[in-house]
């Protein structure tokens, strides 16, 4: 009974702890480890086509992805403070701005304000915050085109670090067409105010470029997603010939977010925990869309529901008819539940609708032929698939970005772990097998189908891509196979890492955790109002002028009216700081003014308390200014240095460690292939021995490189130097504050003693 009671107490304590957790839980997320051994039947977390790791993200977390016919991979990053928002992959671990850096607005030019209200900029000729990209093949009248969907709404943070997304200005949200033959923009489409609302959010896009599509100019049409969190999601259509745009299905039940939806990611229930806001549910509505091969049907789904919907595209295109919206609502079809939330969509020439399933680390597909959803691929590495693109090489490319662990959803805490990744899997072989098994599929055999992929064309172009991204894709496949075997327990001994190397890894992990924890606390120094009490309610007038300015104006007043006018004088251009000392100063001066105004007319003696409060207000303002000086020093001398160590030095160490892991996987894969037929080492072929020796050389080289990088990171005195600057800045502030307060305390004591003397004299004279 005692044991049971203790266990129950521990369980209840664990429940209490979980209830107060400020972010999604991360138990079960691992790197570089193997599973336990058991005789029980287990879920190994995988099925479907083999997955290859094609690219790793170390600098910015990706969102959208598109693969061109020449093999180039384009990716997007919503902003934020990211350096650029549209990029192209240049090798296994790096991307660069596309088509150039100049077209990617720098972070300090993304926002503006009007009467204190923030807005995204209205720049039409450059990228602000790109959400999605899509590629259409070359036609007789249009080059192969990269279509870029710019939301015009970058994320910003207030003084408390709370995230928000400013409203969009006309010109900021846009659809841009880039010719992939010369990497230049050839058309930009913007939207009128009755189509794109200030709170709209452009999320995804699909195209029909056929000339015979109804209700268009004959130059093609774009179908865009407005997934507005603020409550007005729907479809936006753009006639690519005329530039005219219109909306359909705005706030239809099929495009709205699911009520109080609680998904589970990696086994953990998820609630939206945005800093500065109450815990709630995911807010996003309409998200994934996919056009049928014949262009007649649009499949779609909100992120936070489990249902798949469709609508005839004729109803989306219809405009100029007063009943068009009613017709569209009336023709929405519900295809039932699919087994979980879905993010982005893709499709193939057989009409299969691939749906990215972040709750299951999987991709499902809906088959219009049988009306059912089926599993396609599942893998533990698919930690939030956020975009997919079917390339002409027959592979599906998927961006992985660990989105549920981003700081915007977890009270400002970044729980992700680099690298992000691009995974790929061979979908075309599966699609061909499907087509062979269903020759009567009406969707696939339609004579009006959209242009299909030219597989022969890709044979040469993918080789060109290989020169850019990697000399061979086989190492990806080998490492992926080896990793899966290790995770499922289907592998022999693993190559051991040197003991010294493992110790360095442990120290690096401890250093990284130390930086993350201290930065989480000290980052408040970048927030001016970190000590500003939430219960204080100050008006715009209160914050209008500094204490010194107000005291100076009051000193020149010759009457109560003039004093009141001075106290309520028009504000300065810059609002006054919102710090605790400044708030005390403003409250003290307001009290001094109230007492002064209440002094009887004709009195020649100033109110002693009013005098003391005025002096105290001036002193507290000086303390507040000293605090701001401290904060500026800490930001420049400590936060900057520790952030650099975390985001550059420690990231470089993580990158080097990943290279070691990849080299070890390649080595063990080579050993595994040699021993696959039960051979002993003595009977390996010369080719097998050579492959193992080469893999060993690479492994040793990567271990040496990573060891050197980690030692450099651990041995540098820079973190201690930064820490000393933190302590120094705090010491200077406290010393200066003490001096200011000591002086004002003496001044107030003098006033108090003078008042006591006057009081005694008055009493003695009675």
Residue pair 258/283 in contact by the 8 Å Cβ criterion: no
CA 536 to chain centre: 32
Dihedral pair phi/psi, residue 673, rounded to 5°:
-65, -40
Alpha-carbon dihedral angle through residues 96, 102, 107, 111, given to the nearest 10 degrees: -140
What pLDDT was estimated at residue 223? 98
Residues paired with residue 236 on neighbouring β-strands, in sequence order: 224, 247
CATH of 53-429, one of 2.60.120.10, 3.30.70.2740, 2.160.10.10, 2.120.10.30: 2.120.10.30
Q: Decide: 152 and 193 in contact? Cβ < 8 Å.
A: no
Q: Which of 10, 11, 51 is closest to 422 using CA atoms?
A: 51
Burial class (CB in 10 A: 0-12, 13-18, 19+), 13: exposed
Of 187, 146, 151, 181, residue with least CA distance to 167 = 151
Q: Which two tokens stand for residue 564?
A: 């009141």
Task: Supply the pLDDT for residue 16.
Answer: 36
* Distance between CA atoms of residues 712 and 593, nearest Å: 60
Owner of token pair 């369980």: 11
Query: How far is the CA of 156 from the CAs of 48, 97, 107, 127, in angstroms?
Result: 40, 21, 10, 16
Q: What is the reported pLDDT for 80?
A: 82
**DSSP 8-state class, residue 167:** B
Residue ranges of the chain with pLDDT lower than 70?
Answer: 1-38, 429-493, 537-575, 602-604, 676-679, 765-766
What span, in angstroms and rounded, lies between the C-alpha atoms of 272 and 256?
Answer: 17
Contact present, 254 and 344 (Cβ < 8 Å):
no
Q: How far apart are CA 156 and CA 166, in angstroms?
A: 7
Query: What 3-state class would DSSP assign to 749?
Result: helix
pLDDT tens digit sequence for 133-142: 999 999 988 9
* 401-404-408 Cα angle (round to 5): 100
Structure tokens at 630: 């401290």
CA-based angle 352:354:358, to the nearest 5? 160
DSSP annotation string for 214-281:
TTS-SS-EEEEEE--TTS--EEEEEETTT--EEEESTT-GGGSPPTT---EETTEE--BB-TTS--B-
Which CATH architecture describes the domain 547-596+606-761?
Answer: Up-down Bundle (1.20)
Which tokens go with 278?
A: 């109450």
Question: How many angstroms separate the Cα of 551 from the Cα of each of 62, 194, 494, 546, 597?
Answer: 53, 50, 75, 9, 14
Domain extent listing, the chain = 53-429, 547-596+606-761
Cα 130 to Cα 173: distance, rounded to the nearest angstrom: 9
CB within 8 Å of 214: residues ≥ 6 apart: 314, 317
Q: What is the DSSP string of 60-124?
A: S----EEE-TTS-EEEE---SS-S-SEEEEEETTEEEESS-STTB--GGGSEEEETTEEEE---S
């Amino acid at each position: 009974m005692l044991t049971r009671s203790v266990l129950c107490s521990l369980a209840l304590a664990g429940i209490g702890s979980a209830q107060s957790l400020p972010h999604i839980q991360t138990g079960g997320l691992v790197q570089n480890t193997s599973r336990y051994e058991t005789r029980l039947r287990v879920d190994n977390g995988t099925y479907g086509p083999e997955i290859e790791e094609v690219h790793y993200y170390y600098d910015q977390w990706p969102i959208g992805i598109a693969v061109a016919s020449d093999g180039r991979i384009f990716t997007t990053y919503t902003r934020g403070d990211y350096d650029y928002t549209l990029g192209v992959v240049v090798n296994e671990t790096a991307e660069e701005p596309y088509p150039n850096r100049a077209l990617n607005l720098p972070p300090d030019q993304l926002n503006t304000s009007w009467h204190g209200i923030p807005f995204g900029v209205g720049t039409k000729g450059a990228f602000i915050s790109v959400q999605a990209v899509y590629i259409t093949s070359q036609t007789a009248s249009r080059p192969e085109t990269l279509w870029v969907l710019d939301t015009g709404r970058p994320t910003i943070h207030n003084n408390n670090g709370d995230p928000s997304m400013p409203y969009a200005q006309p010109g900021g949200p846009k659809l841009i067409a880039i010719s992939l033959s010369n990497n230049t923009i050839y058309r930009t489409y913007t939207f009128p105010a009755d189509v794109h609302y200030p709170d709209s959010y452009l999320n995804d896009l699909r195209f029909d470029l056929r000339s015979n599509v109804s209700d268009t100019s004959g130059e093609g049409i774009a179908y865009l997603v407005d997934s507005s969190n603020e409550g007005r999601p729907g479809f936006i259509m753009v006639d690519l010939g005329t530039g005219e745009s219109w909306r359909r299905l705005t706030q239809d039940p099929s495009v709205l977010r699911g009520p109080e939806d609680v998904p589970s990611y990696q086994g953990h229930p998820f609630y939206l925990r945005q800093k500065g806001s109450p815990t709630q549910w995911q807010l996003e509505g309409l998200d994934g869309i996919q056009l049928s091969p014949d262009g007649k049907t649009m499949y779609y789904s909100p992120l936070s529901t489990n249902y798949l919907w469709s609508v005839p595209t004729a109803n989306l295109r219809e405009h100029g008819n007063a009943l068009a919206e009613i017709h569209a609502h009336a023709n929405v079809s519900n295809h039932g539940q699919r087994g979980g939330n879905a993010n982005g969509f893709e499709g193939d020439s057989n009409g299969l609708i691939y749906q990215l399933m972040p709750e299951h680390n999987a991709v499902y597909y809906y088959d219009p032929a049988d009306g059912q959803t089926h599993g396609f691929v599942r893998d533990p590495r698919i930690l939030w698939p956020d975009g997919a693109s079917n390339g002409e090489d027959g592979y599906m490319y998927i961006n992985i970005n660990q989105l549920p662990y981003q700081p915007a959803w977890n009270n400002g805490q970044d729980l992700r772990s680099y690298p992000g990744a691009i995974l790929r899997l061979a979908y075309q072989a599966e699609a061909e097998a499907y087509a062979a098994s269903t020759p009567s599929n009406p969707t696939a055999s339609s004579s009006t189908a959209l242009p299909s992929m030219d597989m022969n064309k890709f044979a040469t172009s993918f080789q060109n891509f290989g020169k850019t991204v990697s000399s061979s894709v086989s190492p990806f496949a080998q490492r992926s196979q080896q990793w899966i075997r290790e995770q499922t327990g289907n592998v022999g001994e693993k190559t051991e890492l040197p003991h010294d190397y493992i110790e360095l890894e442990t120290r690096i992990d401890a250093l990284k955790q130390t930086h993350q924890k201290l930065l989480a606390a000290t980052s408040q120094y970048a927030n001016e109002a970190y000590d500003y009490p939430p219960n204080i309610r100050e008006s715009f007038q209160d914050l209008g002028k500094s204490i010194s300015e107000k005291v100076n104006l009051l000193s020149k007043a010759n009457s109560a009216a003039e004093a009141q006018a001075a106290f309520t004088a028009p504000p300065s251009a810059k609002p006054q700081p919102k710090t605790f000392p400044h708030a005390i100063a403003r409250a003290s001066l307001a009290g001094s003014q109230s007492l002064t105004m209440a002094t009887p007319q004709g009195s020649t003696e100033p109110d002693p308390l009013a005098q003391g409060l005025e002096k105290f207000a001036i002193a507290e303002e000086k303390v507040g200014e000293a605090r701001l000086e401290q904060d500026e020093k800490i930001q420049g001398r400590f936060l900057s240095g520790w952030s650099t160590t975390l985001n550059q030095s420690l990231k470089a160490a993580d990158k080097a460690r990943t290279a070691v892991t990849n080299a070890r996987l390649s080595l063990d894969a080579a050993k595994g292939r040699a021993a696959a037929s039960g051979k002993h080492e003595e009977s390996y072929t010369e080719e097998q021995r050579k492959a193992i020796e080469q893999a060993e050389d690479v492994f040793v080289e990567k271990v040496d490189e990573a060891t050197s990088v980690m030692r450099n990171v651990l041995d540098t005195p820079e973190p201690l130097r930064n820490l000393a600057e933190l302590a120094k800045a705090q010491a200077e502030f406290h010393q200066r504050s003490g001096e200011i307060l000591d002086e004002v305390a003496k001044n107030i004591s003098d006033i108090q003693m003078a008042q006591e003397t006057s009081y005694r004299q008055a009493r003695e004279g009675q």
